[in-house]
Amino acid sequence: MPEITFRDGNRGTVAALGQRGAGDLTTVRRRTMKRTTGAVAITSAAALLLSACGGESGEENTDSGANAEESSGDDAAAEEEGGVDSAATSEGAPAASDGTSLVIWADDLRAAALEDVAATFEEETGVPVTLQVVANENLREQFKDSVGAGAGPDIAVGAHDWLGELVQNNVVAPVQLASDLSGQFNPDSIEAFTYEGQTYGVPYSVESLALIRNTELAPDEPETMEALVETGAQLVSDGEAELVMAQQLGQEGDAYNMYPYLAAYGGGIFPLLEEGGFDASEVIIDSEETVQGGEKIAWLAEQEALTVNLDGSNTIPQFVEGKTAYLVSGPWAIEQSTEAGINYAISPIPDFEDGGETTPFLGVNGFYVSAESQNPQIAQTFVQEYVSRADVQVSLYEAGDRPPALTEAYEQVAADDEDIESWGQAAEGGTPMPNIPQMNAVWGPLGKATADIVSGNDAAERLGTAQSEVEGAL
């Protein structure tokens, strides 16, 4: 199923990602085309509207720019200016970098979290900040398209697995982090924002799949997957639950959700390079190790722990309605669980009895600097000197409830918030999702292979066909 039903944006970093991105691509292209022609349309009001809009926002920005210039260093005026308020709710064509204020695109949650940071930045530097809310599902494409057209923001907040595609199209500029600064981050998070040896963003959160447990139904953390399945099945036969476990899969499968098992014995998609990153020239989907993981998926399906009938729209509700004691999902599942009053505990996805260590993908969120920014140094200052501050990372955590990427901030938050500590533990040992564009060719075939394995196909055979499909597409 398409990625339509998810309200949480970070789910967007997840499987079938290429599909969604591509979907937007066509619409966006069509839209841009119309916009260009609209500007030309003589009698049509579109031209009038467009020029009017352009003029207006230009004026507004110039005003704030001039104001800030007069008062650079002067706190009060910059604060008064409040680029934040004026922009937070603006609609229509998103504000673009124009050399007078720092334009940041983020989704609604993150934009709200950034307001304080933006105010601090304005106060300390005198540079007005325009926070532009862009719907999460459109952000990636809009960022890509508008920078390509020379009208993008200075900074965009997004997921790390966009990186390869953004570099390919020259959308993002390298971020030259001081080495002592990059050392203060979770190393995985920096690696996630590194592409072919170059760093392109500053991370602020790390997330991964974990086991969320209903503590009323299952008070004890399962030691192994086998124990989990046993307890889950017991609950079902006792009539206390309806499902052994809930995990998103769907008819078309879900390589992101199945990756922890596929990689449990050292397999996966691409071999890991020692210096970090993946070697995209080799595909290891049909390797012995991956097949071993695939057989575990088949086993979980036999035990009725996995089913293709659970997809993005109905997986979390099973847990929220108390129909299962175990949910394998990410931080995006927490809000609904809390609202429903479920008592839950978070722990890493258990390993297998025979030593297979489940390895989830890590999704990292961070700040990108546009390659076409009109304020390149100011944008770099914001991401390098402000985003990397512990207080900023903490306030971003407060908005999104994801473990901060900055070690100091993580430790500070984890001390008070048990959940964050658990998420952090779940992410330990995880692998950042590949940020190479080649992943687009993997999600589909590998996802469908996992669905077929769950439906009863032979793991070795099915992963073999997935391997040849992926190889053919690359």
CB of 429 to another protein, least distance (A): 27
Q: Are 270 and 28 in contact (CB under 8 A)?
A: no
* Euclidean distance between CA atoms 412 and 398, whole angstroms: 12
Pairing of strands 326-329, 246-247: parallel
CB of 131 to another protein, least distance (A): 19
Render 46-80 in DSSP notation, one character per residue.
HHHHHHHHHHHHHHHHHHHHHHHHHTTT-HHHHHH
Our CB check for another protein shows the closer of 258 and 346 to be 258
Determine phi and psi for 85, rounding to 5 degrees: -60, -45
Query: Does 237 interact with another protein (rule: CB under 8 A)?
Result: no
Listed ranges 190-198, 226-234, 269-277, 290-298: which one lies at the site for another protein (CB under 8 A): 190-198
Q: Which single residue is written with the structure tokens 């040896």?
A: 197
Query: Does 380 interact with another protein (rule: CB under 8 A)?
Result: yes
Our CB check for another protein shows the closer of 8 and 452 to be 452
Interface residue with another protein, options 19, 138, 202, 274 (CB under 8 A): 19
Number of H helices and E strands in the chain, helices first, is 20, 12
Dihedral of alpha carbons 193, 190, 363, 377, sign: negative
Site for another protein in 39-78 (CB under 8 A): 39-44, 47-48, 50-51, 54, 65, 68-69, 72-73
Interface residue with another protein, options 104, 109, 117, 127 (CB under 8 A): 127
Query: Does 452 interact with another protein (rule: CB under 8 A)?
Result: yes
Find, among 193, 137, 187, the residue nearest to 160 by Cα.
193
Interface residue with another protein, options 92, 197, 239, 341 (CB under 8 A): 197
**Contact map string, positions 406 to 445, toward another protein, x by CB under 8 A:** -------------------------------xx-xx--xx
* Euclidean distance between CA atoms 76 and 73, whole angstroms: 9
Site for another protein in 144-173 (CB under 8 A): 148, 150, 164-165, 167-170, 173
Interface residue with another protein, options 303, 336, 381, 425 (CB under 8 A): 381
Site for another protein in 325-354 (CB under 8 A): none
Radius of gyration in angstroms for the set of CA atoms belonging to the chain, rounded to a whole number: 23
Our CB check for another protein shows the closer of 41 and 135 to be 41
Q: Which single residue is written with the structure tokens 């697995």?
A: 161
Query: Does 196 interact with another protein (rule: CB under 8 A)?
Result: yes
Query: Does 22 interact with another protein (rule: CB under 8 A)?
Result: yes
Site for another protein in 264-283 (CB under 8 A): 280-281
The length of the chain, given as a count of residues: 474
Render 153-168 in DSSP notation, one character per residue.
-SEEEEEGGGHHHHHH
* Euclidean distance between CA atoms 215 and 272, whole angstroms: 36
Our CB check for another protein shows the closer of 2 and 219 to be 2
Interface residue with another protein, options 118, 156, 262, 308 (CB under 8 A): 308
Half-sphere exposure of 210 (CA within 13 A, CB side): 30
